[in-house]
Every structure is written in C-alpha cells, then in structure tokens.
Amino acid sequence: MAELQERLARALTKRYAVKAELGRGGMSVVFLAWDRKHECDVALKVLRPDLASALGPDRFLQEIKTAARLKHPYILKLYDSGEAGGLLYYVMPYVETESLRQRLEREHQLPIADALRIAREVGEALDYAHRERVVHRDIKPENILFEGGHAVVSDFGIALAAANARQTDSGVALGTLEYMSPEQSAAKRELDGRSDIYSLGLVLYEMLTGEPPRLSVDGTVKTLERLRHDVPPGVGQVLRRALATDPEDRFATARTQARDGLEHDVQKARDDIQATAEKLRSESTTASDQANAWAEGIQRSWSDHVTEARRRMDARKARHDAKIAQHYAEDAEEYAEFSINLAYSAVEESEYAALEAILARQDADAATAAAS
Ligand SMILES: Nc1ncnc2c1ncn2[C@@H]1O[C@H](COP(=O)(O)OP(=O)(O)O)[C@@H](O)[C@H]1O
Ligand SMILES: [Mg+2]
C-alpha cells in the first residue's frame, strides 16, 4: 500500500503532509497526516480505490454529508472530505489513545463497570444518530475510540457509502460480518437503529467475556454466564433482548436499552457496592468491639497482677514489721527483767535498811537502859 500512500501524499500535498499508516480496515486505510493549514495532526481516511471507483465521488460525498451533520460529544467529528487524484478521503481528529479493539487485545475482559459505561456511551451516540435518521451499520470495537475519558464512535456514514458501492458493483467484497445483525447479513435494504443495537449487544458481549461473538443468540447469552460469573443477571437479560433475531423483539431505541437495561444494572451494581460497604462497616465495628473487649480483658488481668504484687509487697512489709516488733518485744522483755531485778535489789536494800533501823533502835534502847 506504499503506492496508495504516495498517491495520496502527492494528491493532497498542498493541504496535508501524509506521515504514516495508522491502520487499515476492509474498506479503507487510515493515515496520520499533518494539517498544514491548522498545524495539527489529523487522521486521513482513504477509501480503497476499487470501492471509490464503484461508488463515485458524488455518492460518497453525499453519504459523508450525513456524517458531517452529526454533532454529539460521543461521535468523532468530521473535519473535511473530498476527492483527490481519483481517491476519496475524509479527515477526522487523530485519536492517540488505543481503540476498544486494542484495549480488548490487551485486557481481554474489561471490568464490568467499564464495559457497561462504554456500552452506555456508545448507546447514547447511537440514540442521537438514530433520531437524526442515521444508522451506523458498522458498530465494532475498531470503531469505538476514546477521547477525554469517554468513548467516541467513528465512521458514521462510511458503512452506508460502502453498502451502496457494493450494490453498484457486486464484485466489491463485504466488510466484516462478525458484528452484523441478522437483517444486515441478509442484505435487507431497509435497516433501522435496531440493527446497530444488535451490533452494540455483540460488542458488549465481547467486552464482558473477552471472546469475539460467534455463537447463536441463545448460545451467546448462555456462554456469557458461563464465561463470566460476576456479570449481574440483568446484563444477561439486556443482551438477550439486544441480540434477538427479530428486530421487533429488541429494544426499540438505544435510549430504552440504556434506561431499562444497563442503567438498572448500574444502579444494582451501586446498590451492591453500598451493601458491601455497609457489611464491611459493620464487620469493622464488630472487630473494633472485639479489640476493645480484648484491651479491657488485658487491662483487667494487668490490674489483677498489680493487686497481687501489691498484696505480696504488703505481706513482705508485714513480715518485716513483725520481725521488728519481735525485736522490740525481746528488748522490752529484757528491760522488764532488768527492772524486776532492780526492784528486787531495791526491796532488798530497803529490807536491809529496815533491819539496820531495827538494830539501831535496839542499840539506842540498850543505851537508854544503861544510862538509867
Ligand atoms: N481517528 C483516528 N485516529 C487514530 N487512529 C485511527 C482513527 N481512525 C481509525 N484509526 C485506526 O485505523 C484503523 C483502520 O481504520 P478503518 O479503516 O476505519 O478500519 P476498521 O475500523 O475496520 O479498523 C483502526 O482500526 C484504528 O486503529
Ligand atoms: Mg473504522
């Protein structure tokens, strides 16, 4: 395809500098290019030459006008389009971050909340486009890009141009069949928004299971529940309805699908999170009660130890006091003995004195008698 790049670069050289190929699909090749006028990177998409010649510039530009009319935050803008050197191209913002296809290749299964949010954003873009009477016809992970933290849908209008080219020239190969609704595969001319709803259902299935959709409708939903246990039951119901073979059995609009189905599940997921948080809170209360009880127990047994130690100290002190008291008692006893002895000797001494007094009296009496 280097030849195509050169051809395009030559044809557009005044306005764009074609830098490198970004990727290619069944119908087109996308290049990174420098917009000389606005001095910024852009993505330049060129229709395959055989498709371009089957379609012709008038029809192509007619379909592109449809896409240019759409203005929605979740729809990738269209900057410019035209014909140059027999090539049909259109210009859109260059999205640097990975596409949903690349994210799926990297992560396989997406977190449920992310998958539901992306499906809801794409659903909002589709709902808007359907109300503007535009059917995308090629909803698939390659056409879901991300900008400013939300999904943006690319390639509005392009698939219809390709379908028209196919009708003009049956030699032109079909695009990817994987995500087509049954009525689209059956090449029904009149398609409505419900065909996109079917394709979005398949994309959601792939985001949840990591498996590309290739089973029958009932099989698909049964497999969903087998491949991913944590999918809320409501999501299975939404998918079953989005993937109904008969469009009459699907959601009438992407809006009802988001409101009745996905939002119900997002709400349920929120309720589940709240219930879990509540449970954790009550478990942590129980745990802190338990910890308090333990702390109290430890404190109690600690104070038991302190009391016991005090009791022992008191006993030791009492023993010590008793010993001192005994010493005092012994001293007192000795002192008492000494006092008794002292008393005895005092008594003895007074007895002597009395005796001496008696003797002195006798002596005096005798002297008196002798004198008379
Ligand atoms: N605006 C864009 N910015 C950056 N890369 C893009 C853009 N549009 C398309 N691409 C890349 O180019 C690849 C080919 O795109 P396209 O021709 O639309 O085919 P398909 O959508 O089938 O993959 C995409 O898969 C994507 O990786
Ligand atoms: Mg694309």
Q: Are 125 and 135 in contact (CB under 8 A)?
A: no
Whole-structure pTM value: 0.71
User: Is any atom of ligand 1 closer than 6 Å to the C-beta of 56?
Assistant: no
DSSP state of 262: I
Q: What is the pLDDT of residue 94?
A: 96
Question: Closest ligand to 147 CA?
Answer: 1
Beta strands in 49-147 (DSSP E): 80-84, 87-93, 144-147
Question: What average pLDDT does range 260-281 have in this prediction?
Answer: 75
> Of 208, 260, 249, 253, which Cα lies nearest the Cα of 232?
208
Residue 362 has φ and ψ, to the nearest 5°, of: -60, -45
Q: Which of the four pLDDT bands, split at 50, 70 and 90, describes residue 143? A: very high
Which atom from ligand 1 is nearest to the alpha carbon of 76? 1
> Of 187, 200, 194, 205, which Cα lies nearest the Cα of 247?
194
Q: Which of the four pLDDT bands, split at 50, 70 and 90, describes residue 305? A: confident
Q: How far apart are CA 177 and CA 171, in angstroms?
A: 17
User: Is any atom of ligand 1 closer than 6 Å to the C-beta of 43?
Assistant: yes
User: Is any atom of ligand 1 closer than 6 Å to the C-beta of 95?
Assistant: yes
**pLDDT at position 261 over 90:** no
CA of 43 to the centre of ligand 2 (A): 11
Q: Are 27 and 162 in contact (CB under 8 A)?
A: yes
Q: What is the pLDDT of residue 76?
A: 95
User: Is any atom of ligand 1 closer than 6 Å to the C-beta of 28?
Assistant: yes
Q: How far apart are CA 1 and CA 8, in angstroms?
A: 11
CA of 309 to the centre of ligand 1 (A): 83
Question: What average pLDDT does range 164-183 have in this prediction?
Answer: 67
Distance, C-alpha 250 to centroid of its chain: 31
Query: Looking at this protein, which amino acid is placed at residue 70?
Result: L
Which atom from ligand 1 is nearest to the alpha carbon of 143? 21
pLDDT digits (tens, 9 = 90+) for 334-362: 888 888 888 888 888 999 999 999 999 99
Q: Taking the C-alpha atoms of 10, 12, 18 and 23 in order, what is their torsion angle to the nearest 10 degrees?
A: -100
Question: What average pLDDT does range 222-243 have in this prediction?
Answer: 83
Compute how many other C-beta atoms are within 10 angstroms of the C-beta atom of residue 291.
Answer: 10
**Helix, coil or strand: residue 265:** helix
Q: What is the pLDDT of residue 158?
A: 77
> Of 261, 271, 210, 211, which Cα lies nearest the Cα of 239?
261
Q: Are 204 and 164 in contact (CB under 8 A)?
A: no
Question: Is residue 138 flagged as an active site residue?
Answer: yes
Q: How far apart are CA 78 and CA 232, in angstroms?
A: 37
Tokens read off for 216: 């029958």
Which residue has the CA at smallest separation from atom 27 of ligand 1? 23
Q: How far apart are CA 51 and CA 234, in angstroms?
A: 42
**Of 30, 40, 92, 106, which is best to mutate to test ligand 1, by the most ligand atoms within 8 angstroms of its C-beta?**
30
Contacts of 98 (CB under 8 A, 6+ apart): 106, 146
Q: What is the pLDDT of residue 216?
A: 55
User: Is any atom of ligand 1 closer than 6 Å to the C-beta of 252?
Assistant: no
Which atom from ligand 1 is nearest to the alpha carbon of 26? 22
Q: Which fold has domain 2-280?
A: Transferase(Phosphotransferase); domain 1 (1.10.510)
**pLDDT at position 175 over 70:** no
Identified catalytic residue from 138, 155, 196, 265: 138
User: Is any atom of ligand 1 closer than 6 Å to the C-beta of 25?
Assistant: yes
pLDDT digits (tens, 9 = 90+) for 39-88: 999 999 998 888 888 878 888 888 788 888 999 999 999 999 999 988 99
